Structure 1
Amino acid sequence: MVDRVSASIEIGGTIGSADYTRLVALIGAEALAIQWDGEDFAPEHRQEGQSLRLYAHEVAWGRFDALEATCIEMGLPFARWSGGCSGQWGSERVVFTGEGEPQPYPVDESDTVLIGRAAIKQLGSIEAVLAWFDAADFAIPPLVVTGDDEAADDVAADASQGA
């Protein structure tokens, strides 16, 4: 049996409309909602100038493996929070800035970033500790879908030709 916990993900960056369709399918496969215990996400829920914030309970291992892998492939920044599973793992935030590798950070159940004594010693200075916290608090940019206007124009042209 797979351990399951609550998890959320915030996604941003710039993609084309075809990639957005692919992203929406992955979000649907994960049954992600627009708020805790809320309505399932639908494409029209995306708001211009904002990132996507999505939520789910009973997430296997607290990860959205296919969705996260696709975001990494597309270079879409994301931050995922997942609750801890007693005796298995603690709560974590994973941050992907759009480049490099996703970085995990220990957090509490309220998504407050935590740091232990050993990590402070390893980082070596207050400046390095503060930079570590800044990296954990990476601001996810809005999700911008390019080609939206072109797609709308194509739909409008098709409708006028059929009339």
Structure 2
Amino acid sequence: MRIRTILTAGDMSTLSAILSGALVDPSAQRLALAIYERENDHTTIEFRHFQSTMDYELAWKWIRIVTSLVQVASKPASEFDHKLQLIATEYQRMDGRWRLYTWDKTFGQETIDPWLNSWEWMLPILDLQDDVPFWRDYVARLPGRNELS
């Protein structure tokens, strides 16, 4: 229910109101505090990849990724297993790409780490294909990101 509430917020100002408890809908109030009240619950997932930002669009895209991960994990077992199989298949493909990258790097060839673009296959698995253009543009602007090593 909390994830659904966050996803239906629609924009950062509404999400801010939800988290502050300013909205009257009891199912949407105090989401952040409700999470912290579960002191003895050790099922927390910590995402350290997210960088601090004042860019509301970037923050919103990260929220969509995190909530999509939770939604995938909350699906019935057969759907969850299907998503895991898709991820496992991509990881198997990455093994060959990683070996080639390591080989090229060892022998001084110019190459790009294949894991740097793994987001391209992960977003559609998380049903976030609409976010691909945003992330493609964002990643392309990162300094030194697309340089050969």
TM exceeds 0.5?
no
The TM-score range, normalised by the shorter chain, is under 0.3
**Larger helix proportion of the pair:** 2
- Which structure is richer in relative contact order (CA contacts within 8 A, separation 6 or more)? 1
TM-score (normalised: structure 2): 0.27
**Larger strand proportion of the pair:** 1
